[in-house]
Amino acid sequence: MKKLPFLTVLFFWNFCFAQTKQSIEITTNHNLETFSIVERLSLKHSRFLKIRDSLLNVQPITRPLVKLVHEKFSLPKNEAIVIQLAKLIDTLYATKSGGQDIFLGYLVLQKPFPIKGKLNPFTFLSKELSDGQNKYIDNQIHSFIENLNNFYTNNNVEDFLKKNKSFYDGCINEVKKYIPLNVIDEMNSYYRVENRNKYTVIVMPSRPWANGEWSANGPKNNLSNGGKHMCNILSSYVEVSSQKNINDYTTFGFDDKNWVEEICVHEFGHSYVNDDLNAMNDVIEKNTKLFNGTYEKEMQKVSTWNWRVCVEEHIVRTIEIRIADLQKNQERANKLRNEYINKDKYIFIPMLEEKMKEYENDKVNYPTFKTFLPVIIQTLNSITVKQRDELLKPLVQK
């Protein structure tokens, strides 16, 4: 009998105004939790991430599962896979082809541990690397995942997950409480598409971030109906006070309404943009000169590693702001502008906001957002390095 993940809550929202039924699944994932365990142990061996290991060792405990992972799985028998992951992470950082988050996309396409095999095929590909380099990294990642599956069995990770089920359930329920009821419908309306996608939020409370850090990722895989299964993977965001026992916790790290709502719009927003952008890579690459010098350094601070990703993030974040504006939620729109432009340095958002209004007001020439994407790319490709520097200078000097 096929073994299925046990830490799952599935709930359905009924949208009466649209007479449709949209589901969002809130769950954990065996594979991702197993990765988090090894990730925590690998930090001290990584040239790029060892500072995080130092911080976690001295900071107050705000992510209790991270502490439990370190106590339970720091064993000599696990050193080989821990070092393997650290070397892989360092390779990804050194080649500017990503970071440890790349593994998350692979692992949601893998059958749930301890089952072997893939749900969908996957191959590592970075436009910045040669065919040989891509093949080498891809082989290394697949080898690591095979070893990670063995780690799951050899260390009885399933027993660890079961013993801490109450904490995982608490995380799930916090996210469930704040999921916007109409988020998918609003996005379908803005992008002008018929939805065939499946949406899942996966909580990862054991992700080993230092205090003040967090992450969200949006991998996807194909569905038989031609749609996509969109996954919004969330590490914990809110610091929680340390308790004596794991069952004593009443808050779990996801209890922030604004954050949950905003991150759902953002990560699910990528499902409407990324594939269509991939088909335009050649056109996008014409203006990679914008991604160099000081601007490249600023973008790397927010894990934006190349011009292609920079374009993608600009578009998704601009549409988040536009949706907030159209909802008459000026407080959220202004908050996002401040965060994305002034703090994170996505400096082309203001001009894209103005351009998006053309799309919003013209359903005849632009029946879907896909038909408007060439206009967006043309706008970005018309920007000069001098214009970029004029936009960036006042933000860097603050």
Whether the pLDDT of residue 276 is over 70: the answer is yes
In whole angstroms, what is the distance from residue 44 CA to residue 51 CA? 8
Residue 266 lies in a domain: no
Residue 20 is predicted with a pLDDT of: 43
Measured CA to CA, the distance from residue 280 to residue 323 in angstroms comes to 24
Per DSSP, what are the bridge partners of residue 229? 198, 221
Do 146 and 280 lie in a common domain? no
- Average pLDDT on 268-289 reads 87
Q: Mind listing the pLDDT tens digit for each residue in 338-395? A: 999 999 999 999 999 999 999 999 999 999 999 999 999 999 999 999 999 999 999 9
Q: Is 111 exposed, middle or buried (0-12, 13-18, 19+ CB in 10 A)?
A: middle
Greater confidence (305 vs 362) lies with 362
Tokens, residue 146:
């095979």
What string of DSSP letters covers 92-111?
HHHTTS--TTHHHHHHHTBP
pLDDT score of 14: 30
Residue 322 lies in a domain: yes
Residues 162 and 277 in one domain: no
Last residue of a domain, one of 205, 227, 254: 254
Tracing tokens 């992008």 back to the chain, one arrives at 191
- Count Cα neighbours of 340 within 13 Å in the Cβ-side half-sphere: 26
Dihedral angle sign, alpha carbons of residues 32, 34, 39, 40? positive
Percent of the chain with pLDDT over 90: 69
Structural domain of residue 157, as residue ranges?
8-254
| pLDDT of the residue at 349 | 97
pLDDT band with cut points at 50, 70 and 90 for residue 184: confident
137/215 same-domain check? yes
Q: Is 260 part of a structural domain of the chain?
A: no
Contacts of 192 (CB under 8 A, 6+ apart): 363, 366, 367, 368, 369
What does the pLDDT read at residue 9? 34
233 in a domain, yes or no?
A: yes
Look at residue 358 and tell me if it is in a domain: yes
Same domain as 288, residue 234? no
Residue 398 banded pLDDT, cuts 50, 70, 90 = low
320 by Cβ neighbours in 10 Å (0-12 / 13-18 / 19+) ranks as: buried
Predicted local confidence at residue 286, as pLDDT: 87
Residues 244 and 99 in one domain: yes
Domain boundary among 254, 282, 300: 254
Residue 150: which residues within 8 A CB-CB, separation 6 or more? none
Same domain? For 223 and 332 the reply is no
Sign of CA dihedral 97, 103, 107, 110: positive
Residue 10 has pLDDT above 50, yes or no: no
Pick from 4-8, 145-149, 185-189: least confident: 4-8
Q: Are residues 114 and 229 in the same domain?
A: yes
Same domain? 239 vs 203 = yes
Domain count, the chain: 2
Question: Residue 389 domain-assigned?
Answer: yes
pLDDT for res 363: 95
Q: Which of 195, 227, 254 delimits the end of a domain?
A: 254
Q: Would you say residue 3 lies in a domain?
A: no
Same domain as 47, residue 186: yes
Same domain flag for 185 and 289: no
Clarify whether residues 189 and 312 are in a common domain: no
- Taking the C-alpha atoms of residue 149 and residue 244, their distance in angstroms, rounded to an integer, is 31
Q: What's residue 162's pLDDT?
A: 96
Cβ-in-10-Å burial (0-12, 13-18, 19+) of 199 comes to: buried
With CA atoms as reference, report the closest residue to 15 among 233, 188, 232, 266.
Answer: 188
Mean pLDDT in the chain?
A: 89
pLDDT tens for residues 78-119? Answer: 999 999 999 999 999 998 888 888 999 899 989 999 999 988
3-class DSSP assignment, residue 156: coil
Q: What per-residue confidence (pLDDT) applies to 279?
A: 87
Mean pLDDT within 50-66: 95
Same domain, residue pair 133 and 278: no
Give the distance from CA 215 to its chain's centroid: 6
Query: How confident is the model over 280-293, as a mean pLDDT?
Result: 90
Tokens coding 204:
């990862």
pLDDT exceeds 60 at position 64: yes
- Kindly state whether residue 267 falls inside one of the protein's structural domains: no
User: 11 pLDDT band (50/70/90 cuts)?
Assistant: very low
